[in-house]
Amino acid sequence: MSRIKALWASSPRKIMAALFALLAATALAVGSGANFNSTSANPSNVLSAGTMSQSNSKTGAAILTADKLKPGDVTSGTVDIKNTGDVNGTFTLVKSSVVDVPSTPAFSKLLTLKVEDLGDPACVSSCPAAQTVYSGNVFDMASLPLGTYAPGVTHRYKFTATFPNGTSANDNTYAGAKTTVGYSFESTS
């Protein structure tokens, strides 16, 4: 510190001139560079969520119903499921609430069920063949993955139930039996 005091006392003008020169050189170095600038704007960016919805041609109604079946009888019904949303949807068929009267023997364990995807009902040429998505008894059907539908895509499903023709002794066991079962189509994006 004593050196700075001595230097200041001997020549304050020289110190001020040196500081001024140093400041001027710094300002010149910083301010003299040439810069190229460019700006590109992207205003009004909008993000919105899609919607997932479906239509069911038999909403609130049975897909198939049969009364007074006898061994060997077959009944069927169809339903059209459409992705009415604006995003792809993964569809699943879910069985619920099986009720057998009487509960034993369970008629739902005897009745066979075949569920087929018939594809787009509006298809008139070069249509894909029907695909079986389930074949077994009514009781054992679990949730069935049906695939991904793009927006606007419709699939027709055919449900076919059969009362197998067994021996007459076995057939009499199920006389008057009744099975009620619910089905729902679920979709997720």
- In angstroms, rounded to a whole number, what is the distance separating the alpha carbons of residues 134 and 141? 7
Q: Mean pLDDT score of the chain, rounded to an integer?
A: 87
Mean per-residue pLDDT, 139-157: 96
Give the pLDDT confidence of 113-135 residue by residue, as tens digits.
999 999 999 999 999 999 999 99
Residues forming beta bridges with residue 132, ordered by sequence position: 116
Q: How many CB atoms lie within 10 A of CB 151?
A: 16
- Please say if the pLDDT value at position 143 is more than 70: yes
Looking at 17-171, which runs of residues are DSSP E strands? Answer: 54-56, 74-83, 89-101, 112-119, 131-137, 144-149, 154-162
- Res 125: pLDDT: 92
What pTM did the predictor assign?
0.75
- In angstroms, rounded to a whole number, what is the distance separating the alpha carbons of residues 4 and 53? 83
Domain ranges of the chain: 2-31, 54-188
Give the pLDDT confidence of 41-56 residue by residue, as tens digits.
998 889 989 999 999 9
